[in-house]
Structure 1
Amino acid sequence: MSEFRILHIINGMTCGGAESYIMNMYRNMDREKIQFDFLLRDNHGDSFYINEIKSLGGKVFFVPSFPRHFLSNYIETKRFLSKHNCYSAIEIHGNALIYVIPLIIAKRLHLNNIIMHSHSTKCAKKIYEIVHKWNRIYIHRMADVCLACSKEAGKWMFQSNFTVVPNAIDVKKYAFPKETKEYTEEYVLCNVARFLEVKNHSFLIDLFYKFQMLHPSSRLILAGEGPLKEKIMEKVRRLNLDEKVEFLGEVRDVEYYLANATCFLLPSFYEGIPLTVIEAQAAGVPCIVSDRVNREVRITNHVYFAPLEHMGCWIDLIERSKNEGKCKREDILDRMSGAGYDVRDNIRRLVKLYTRERK
């Protein structure tokens, strides 16, 4: 039986950045001492990480979705937290202060060690931003600890009094992969992201359409799932790119595909600290990302920021990245560790937080 049990509250455990971050911590944690449980609002028993969580000794619970089932979500969340009131810490993950029901209930129940963790820098909708700014007034009264994946994400959610916890990874896993995918094309472009509006896949397809006209020996690899995937697949078919664009779905071994890629592309409209760019850098792959992405993501010298308004700039940078080649593995390890992105360093910080004395 683990000495400390932590409850993570998050929408679902699909293959997203926040979810991958949590699992990176969980896999490398001393689970004889600390165990994770999960309270989810996305009631899909086949979610990407569910089986792995259970195999690691974690428990998964569900409450009704929010905001669609607002009242029943409140009732079931209160019932759950009232019954399961012995967690050493409760960590609530979010991109904005929209879903604050567990914060309010946990505070009213005087539960221990309430943590709010920010994973983004913007809201998807204007109405959400209004709610977010209102709840931000009270956040420090509700949360005992405020964490953020970056300074920008911390200022966005808390304004002040927060601690930055980088989206750390197992660097050696990416720098020294056991197996790698071999490609025959001259250019192999990669993207790992959920198919959401904010990820801007439509731009990516338009970019690749122009690029492959200049460089016919090209391939685009897309990993991930999401509500807009079918729409993007239809666009690929319409542009007759079926043979050149590969949809991988959700994958666990991203390093297998990244290792021999020419470059990694991320044309997002906004991000917190995109974990996928951290992973790509650890693999030594040059990264070209939207200039709207947080600059804190640049750990190595092989990250380039490009404006979404100038597609030609992206094409130039792809060509340049191929000529420059990859980072040396030894340099990668030093830089990632020095910037705080080694998972083992992060775990030591989290253990202190999770195991601090009760109030």
Structure 2
Amino acid sequence: MSIMNYGGIETLLMNLYRNINRESVQFDFLVTREPKGAYDDEIVSLGGRIYNIAAARKVGLYKFREAVNGFFRSHKEYDCVHCHMNSWSGFFLPIAKKNGVKVRVAHSHIANPDYSFGDNLIKGYWKRKIDDNCTHKFACSKDAGRWLFGKSSNFCIINNSIDTKLFLYNEFVRSKLRIKYGVDDRFVIGHIGRFNKQKNHTFLLKVFNEIKSRKENSLLFLVGDGELKQEIENEAVQLNISDNIIFAGTSSKIHELLQLMDVFVFPSLYEGLGIVAIEAQAAGLPCIVSNTVPKEAHITDLIKTMALDETPKAWGDEIIKYENFTRESKLKDIIRSGYDIINTAKYLENFYLSFI
């Protein structure tokens, strides 16, 4: 991983770590960014170790390779390396193989990303290194697996599961948070995601502008941080909608923030799965998502798909339909679809132990 912050993959790993039998299986983390991660203290409290290696973009690929090789050369205690860095698996796993790590897992968490021509060349090079150097291929969806491993490749789907009971709709929590944020009488449209190109915030602002023109009490609640946050804040000012937007920052309490929302909107340009859409359904929220969100995320009747080439007005029309939606528990649907973290943690625990 790059850093253990409040992201989708990082949160999945922490959910697994909390629920796996840590007397039998321990997770350690090799990260490539120096700042302390949001989850670092908890990792240490659970018995894990965090190792930091300066990123390739900072020290150059040669020194980065030497640092990774040096790490595995001096840490022969590991039975398994599980790489969650998509195409970079083709970089890490050959080094792990060279140093005698017997179980080497490449795990895909993204599908059909909109990379530049140059980035596609580089990532294509690393992807070609995976087959000869991994022992197992995992993916969060069929689209994610096909993107990283190829359409004809065999891989195992590992659901991006959640702690389902945390997300149960709670009227008390909803009321408390709506009062805290001053949105008690508002129609709250929510989004959770990093401020980057993938999450398509510019389009989301256009959709919200359409809604606000018809529903003055509407409010856009944005959770997350990222390199494009300032740009999106500026766009909101230009559209004259900034007074109707709350930029809530990052949070470890996503399960609570989902309670205060009325509709969850997710217009991503691409997704490996979109774990936050699973979480939103678990919270009983109607979800309006783009047609790039894989079918594996459609596990309840709460999801409505919209094409990205439909107009912001069309998206707005659909969202407004849910202004007075009555929420109910979808816990059984989530568990039946295989997205409960207890079952996934047990599966991976058995997988790891089978090679020890």
Scaled by the length of structure 1, the TM-score of the pair is: 0.91
Question: Could you say which residue in structure 2 is the equivalent of 1:5?
Answer: none
The one of 173, 176, 188 equivalent to 1:179 is 173
CA distance in structure 2 between the aligned counterparts of 1:336 and 1:191, rounded to whole angstroms: 20
Q: Once the 2 structures are TM-superposed, how far is the Cα of residue 259 of structure 1 from its aligned partner?
A: 1.3
In structure 2, the residue matched to 1:199 is 199
Whether the 8 Å CA contact 1:200–1:269 is kept in 2: the answer is yes
Whole-angstrom distance in 2 between the partners of 1:261 and 1:272: 24
Q: Per-residue CA shift, 1:86-141, capped at 9, x if unaligned?
A: 1131110124x145322111111221211111000124333232333344344221
Q: Give unmatched runs, 5+ long, in structure 2.
A: none
Cross-structure match for 2:354? 356
Taking the aligned partners of 1:230 and 1:185, their CA distance within structure 2 comes to 28
Letter matched to residue 35 of structure 1: Q
Residue 187 of structure 1 deviates from its aligned partner by 1.2
- Which residue number corresponds to residue 148 of structure 1? 139
Alignment of 1:22 onto 2:13: yes
Distance of 1:284 and 1:176 partners within structure 2: 6
Q: Is 2:89–2:126's contact at 8 Å kept on the other side of the alignment?
A: no
Bigger mean CA deviation after superposition, 191-200 or 66-75: 66-75
Give, in angstroms, the shift of residue 65 of structure 1.
0.7
Q: Secondary structure at the match of 1:336?
A: helix
Question: Which residue does 2:71 correspond to in 1?
Answer: 80
Match of 2:117 in 1: 126
Whether the aligned pair in 2 keeps the contact of 1:185 and 1:219 (CA below 8 Å) is no
Residues 90 and 129 in structure 2, CA contact (< 8 A), matched pair in contact too: no
- Whether contact under 8 Å (2:112, 2:143) holds in the other structure is no
Aligned to 1:4: none
Alpha-carbon separation, structure 2, partners of 1:247 and 1:209: 16
**CA distance in structure 1 between the partners assigned to 2:223 and 2:133 by the alignment:** 37
After TM superposition, give the deviation of residue 218 of structure 1 in Å: 0.8
Per the TM alignment, residue 325 of structure 1 is displaced from its structure 2 partner at its CA by: 3.1
Secondary structure, counterpart of 1:140 in structure 2: coil
Is the Cα contact below 8 Å between 1:265 and 1:289 reproduced in 2? yes
Which of 111, 117, 123 is the equivalent residue of 2:101?
A: 111
Q: Any conservation in 2 of the 1:165–1:346 contact (CA below 8 Å)?
A: yes
Q: Distance in 2 between matches of 1:323 and 1:220?
A: 16
Answer whether contact 1:64 1:72 (CA < 8 A) is retained.
Answer: no
Q: What is the match of residue 217 of structure 1? A: 217
Q: Which SS does the other structure have where 1:12 is aligned?
A: coil
Deviation, 1:33, is 2.3
Supply the AA of the counterpart residue of 2:344.
N
CA RMSD of aligned residues (A): 1.7
Match of 2:287 in 1: 287
Q: Confirm whether residue 139 of structure 1 aligns to residue 130 of structure 2.
A: yes
What is the 5 A alignment of 1:239-278?
239-278=239-278
Q: One-letter code of the match for 1:353?
A: F
Secondary structure in 1 aligned to 2:71? Answer: helix
- 1:325 aligns with 326
Tell me the secondary structure at the aligned position of residue 289 of structure 1: strand
Matching residue of 1:41: 32
Tell me the residue number matched to 2:56: 66
SS of 1:345's equivalent in the other structure is helix
| Residue 305 (structure 1) shift | 1.1
Match of 1:167 among 155, 160, 167: 160
Query: Cα distance, 1:176 vs. partner?
Result: 4.7
Matched, 1:316 2:317: yes
Q: Distance in 2 between matches of 1:29 and 1:189?
A: 35
Aligned length: 344
